[in-house]
Amino acid sequence: MSDERPFKGSGGSLRAQVYEDIRDRIHRGALGPNDRLVDVEIAGSLGVSRMPVREALLQLTHEGYLVGTTRGFMLPTLTPADVANIFEVRRCLEPRAAAHAARTLDAAGMERLAAALKDAEEAVATADAELLFQANVRFRRSWLEAVDNDRLASAIARFADHVQVVRLGTLTHQPTQAIVLAGMRRLYDAFASRDSMAAFDHMTTFIQHAEERFVTLTRAMETANDEGRRSQGQSQ
């Protein structure tokens, strides 16, 4: 994926600015699994020195966002065990945070949730996976901003970001799009009614469905790839 957003270049250290810029790209799904981040190239494009870029990339690697290779940094390839572990952490953290947000979301936050939900509905109606992905990101960001515990919100955002590329891939599947939209609607209703228990329960179900869809679609893709390789081998 390409990303044309300019570097902000204001506030904080250069390392922190580069870190936030790259993490924001990961958050929005603007980095694909085959994209490589090279410190010299990034420094040149941003008009900054190489060292703060290198430090930012190493920090992102330490936090699990990237992995280092001989040709730069890239998104990690997640194994089934990696994904299972990430979803386990999310099940521990997100329901409780959603219950908290149901009590603290203000009118502005609810407006942002409503706008994201409206975009998600349009995306499903038009089978637009990219729009649904972006709406889902904005929806999560809107309720997370209402969580007073900054460390909890930061941890949730981090683990959700770790499966962004996985999420974008599964959202091309139309039955999955319908499941995601239904989950977003239930969560919105819980937030709108300030029902903490419902928010907790719906978030638990939402994460469970997300993991199930990932496992199902990944196995289907692996089967299709295996059949394709066998077919190619037989034709040679």
Q: In this predicted structure, what is the pLDDT of residue 147?
A: 96
Work out the burial of residue 127: count CB atoms within 10 Å of its CB; fewer than 13 is exposed, 13-18 middle, 19 or more buried. Answer: exposed
Under 8 Å between Cβ of 136 and 184: yes
Residue 81 CA to residue 169 CA, distance in Å, equals 18
Model's pTM, two decimal places? 0.75
Under 8 Å between Cβ of 74 and 67: yes
Q: In this predicted structure, what is the pLDDT of residue 225?
A: 56
| The pair of three-digit structure tokens given for residue 198, joined into one six-digit string | 């419902």
Q: Sketch out the chain's domains with CATH numbers.
A: 14-74 (1.10.10.10), 80-227 (1.20.120.530)
Alpha helices in 63-173 (DSSP H): 80-104, 107-126, 129-144, 150-161, 164-170
Under 8 Å between Cβ of 155 and 170: no
Residue that wins the pLDDT comparison between 223 and 112: 112
Q: What is the pLDDT of residues 34-56, one digit of tens each?
A: 889 999 999 998 888 899 999 99
Q: What is the distance of C-alpha 3 from the center of its chain?
A: 16
Give me the residue label for tokens 């993490």: 23
Q: In this predicted structure, what is the pLDDT of residue 233?
A: 63
Q: Share the mean pLDDT of the chain.
A: 86
Q: In this predicted structure, what is the pLDDT of residue 148?
A: 93
Task: Check whether 169 has a pLDDT greater than 70.
Answer: no
Residue that wins the pLDDT comparison between 235 and 14: 14
Of the pLDDT bands very low, low, confident and very high (cuts 50, 70, 90), residue 6 is very low
Q: What is the pLDDT of residues 123-158, one digit of tens each?
A: 999 999 889 988 998 999 999 999 999 999 989 988
Kindly provide the b/e burial profile for residues 56-80, where b requires at least 16 CB atoms within 10 angstroms of the residue's own CB. Answer: bbbbbeeeebbeeeeebbbbeebee
The DSSP bridge partners found for residue 73 are 37, 68
Residue that wins the pLDDT comparison between 89 and 172: 89
